[in-house]
């Protein structure tokens, strides 16, 4: 008795949104680190306290810092909940990348992988 396997159909091509998210990962990491490196050069190293204080050096900087903090918390919750909902593994890795590289990198990376997951799931249906 032979069991015939049904051929596995290839996943459909990437959606345009995948390309947008993928394209945003590079400037999200590179531009953030460009300024991080400038800060480290000016400060002769890296001090988390000095870095955080710089984020509140004036009302404009404080506004951006609070905005990023609230966004970071919100997207972190979304990443964990959405990754679990879709069965995506390694959700913790996106959070770790956000802390160590930049949320501007981790967020579009997660959204890119999420779009890929949704595309593959739709192809299976």
Instruction: State pLDDT tens for residues 104-121.
Output: 999 999 999 999 999 999
What pLDDT, on a 0 to 100 scale, did the predictor assign at position 66? 97
Question: How many other β-carbons are positioned within 10 Å of the β-carbon of residue 106?
Answer: 25
Residue 58 to residue 9: CA distance in whole angstroms: 56
94 against 8, higher pLDDT: 94
Residue 5 lies in a domain: no
The pLDDT of residue 9 is above 70: no
Residue 80 lies in a domain: yes
Residue 22 lies in a domain: yes
Q: How many domains does the chain contain in total?
A: 1
Residue 96 lies in a domain: yes
Tens-digit pLDDT profile for residues 90-107: 999 999 999 999 999 999
Tokens for 123, please give them: 């192809």
Lowest-pLDDT choice from 23-32, 40-49, 80-89: 40-49
Residue 53 lies in a domain: yes
Domain of residue 85, residue span: 16-124
pTM: 0.86
Residue 47 lies in a domain: yes
Residue 1 lies in a domain: no
- Pick the closest to residue 107 from 96, 94, 117 (CA basis): 94
Residue 11 lies in a domain: no
């Amino acid at each position: 008795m032979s069991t015939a396997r049904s051929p596995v159909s290839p996943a459909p091509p990437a959606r345009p949104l995948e390309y947008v998210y993928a394209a945003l990962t590079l400037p999200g990491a590179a531009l953030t680190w460009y300024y991080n490196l400038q800060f480290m050069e000016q400060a002769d190293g890296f001090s988390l306290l000095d870095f955080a204080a710089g984020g509140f050096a004036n009302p404009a900087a404080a506004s951006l810092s609070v905005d990023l903090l609230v966004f970071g918390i919100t997207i972190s919750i979304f990443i964990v909940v959405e990754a679990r909902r879709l069965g995506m593994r390694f959700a913790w890795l996106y959070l770790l990348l956000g802390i160590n590289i930049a949320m501007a990198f981790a967020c579009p990376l997660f959204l890119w992988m999420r779009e890929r997951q949704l595309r593959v799931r739709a192809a299976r249906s």
